[in-house]
Structure 1
Amino acid sequence: MGLNTVYKARSFDLSDLTGISNETLAMHFKLYEGYVTNTNVLNEKIAEMIKDGELDATKTAAFSELKRRFGFEYNGMVLHEYYFDNMVKNGTGDPSKDSAFIKAAEESFGSYEVWKADFVNTGKMRGVGWAATYQDPSNGSISNHWINLHETGNVAGYKPILIMDVWEHAFIKDYAPADRPKYIEAFFANINWDTVNSRLSDAAGKASA
């Protein structure tokens, strides 16, 4: 991240997912591309203000407002990339019994089933947002969190392991708002557990070494 960084929207091969239509994905990709564009625009505008010496936030309301947008636009871009990356065609539904994620869920929640119940019900919460599983880098434990909008609810320093978008644009073409649980079922059918497992690190082992 930096004012001189220019981001490019990534492409994701996710056509023909289970329970999530190509029409929904096309709309969602466009929305994601908008966050990438807006992130670049923010950087450009702030760079121009710095070049012109307009750095005093107490006098320059425009500078303050642009800085306040950083969290929304940047996280809107990054969370979508995590979300699209942790899906795949022909998913297995649940991870394999000997996977790193199963081990992490058992250590942090007692069982994968308890983790899943916690995550699913986080995703069912009223309002727009995201359900996220994060890993504590200091001890390797995982926990589930609700991210309101894009920037509120992220845990500083924690590593995103699994990200689920539960804004209505993620499913409104396929499911009624009241049918969000059906969308969550569809999301689980498409999770790329190889990607999720690769995001986990052996922080607990490093901490005790």
Structure 2
Amino acid sequence: MADVKKYAEHDFSKVRGLTGISDNQIAEHLKLYAGYVKRTNTLTEKLFALCGDGKASGADPVYAELTRRMGFEYNGMVLHEYYFGNLTGGAQAEPPAGGKLRKAIEASFGGKYETWLADFRAVATMPGVGWAILYQDPNTGWLSNHWITLHNDGNPAGFKPILVMDGWEHAFMRDYQATERAKYVDAFFKNVNWQTCESRLK
């Protein structure tokens, strides 16, 4: 049997010195991300072993539950990689005017960046735990904002994440109260690496 694939933690040690999001908050959050990587590897190994032993069966509640759990852990790992990947200290307040990303946002939101921003902020401050994500439709190139619950619930199939914001309380509660997500959203937008986001566009 072939070797089981292993996922490695990405190095986000440079995600420091953010405005309104403390280094302690990031350090604690990165520990949580490391847990997703570890659990993804554990589940991959267990499921690979069951398949290799000819024990993969949808009728087996253990196999079925491990498979369902894999979607949660895997997407938790990947979305955190997008999230930390689109953060940087000393960021620009907005994507540059005339740039590819700015143009794509404006083309998708009635010609106004402000319309998109208001919509994203509205999504990001809705009650509940989850993620606010700007996606690109691979077929049309259009951009749209989405609320994603539980990592694996609500992701539009085939769409590409462009800007990812973790809206779970663990992302901000060292710095803000549970009722202060709007302040965290303000801080998030002071640290967006727009160049990285633009590189994700097709």
- TM-score bucket (shorter structure): over 0.9
Find the counterpart in structure 2 of residue 83 from structure 1: 83
Q: Which amino acid aligns with 1:179?
A: E
**2:100 is equivalent to residue 97 of structure 1:** no
Shift of 1:52: 2.3
Please tell me the residue identity of whatever aligns with 1:108. Answer: S
Matched, 1:146 2:150: no
Report the counterpart of residue 179 of structure 2 in structure 1: 178
Aligned counterparts, 1:18-167, within 5 A:
18-58=19-59, 60-110=60-110, 111-167=112-168
Judge conservation of contact 2:16–2:88 (CA < 8 Å) in 1. Answer: no
1:155-198, Cα deviation, whole Å (9 max, x unpaired): 00111100000100000000011111110010000000000111
1:204 is aligned to none
Contact 1:3 1:43 in 2 (8 A): no
1:168 equivalent in structure 2: 169
Q: 1:3 to 1:162 in 2, by over 3 A?
A: farther
Deviation (angstroms), 1:22: 0.7
Q: Distance in 2 between matches of 1:47 and 1:81?
A: 24
What does residue 8 of structure 1 align with? Answer: 8
Per the TM alignment, residue 51 of structure 1 is displaced from its structure 2 partner at its CA by: 2.4
Structure 2: distance between partners of 1:47 and 1:107: 44
How big is each residue's C-alpha offset from its partner over 1:50-76, in whole Å with a ceiling of 9 and x where there is no partner? Answer: 222212221x21100000112100100
Contact 1:17 1:190 in 2 (8 A): yes
CA distance in 1, matches of 2:128, 2:91: 27
Mapped to 2, the partners of 1:80 and 1:158 lie a distance apart of: 17
Residue 100 of structure 1: how far off its partner (Å)? 1.2
Give the partner amino acid of 1:143. S
State the Cα distance separating 1:15 from its structure 2 match.
Answer: 1.1
Secondary structure (helix, strand or coil) at the match of 2:97 reads: coil
Amino acid corresponding to residue 80 of structure 1 in structure 2: H
| 2:156 partner SS | coil
Cα separation, 1, equivalents of 2:103 and 2:3: 40
In structure 1, C-alpha distance between the alignment counterparts of 2:98 and 2:5, rounded to whole Å = 40
State how many pairs are aligned.
199
Counterpart Cα distance in 1 of 2:57 and 2:154:
29
Q: Secondary structure at the match of 1:177?
A: coil
Structure 1 ranges of 4+ moved more than 4 A: none
Structure 1 gap ranges (5+)? 202-209
Q: Which has the higher helix share?
A: 1
CA RMSD of aligned residues (A): 1.2
SS in 2 for 1:76: helix
- Structure 1 CA distance for aligned equivalents of residues 10 and 21 of structure 2: 19
One-letter amino acid of the counterpart of residue 4, structure 2: N
For residue 98 of structure 2, what is the amino acid of its counterpart? D
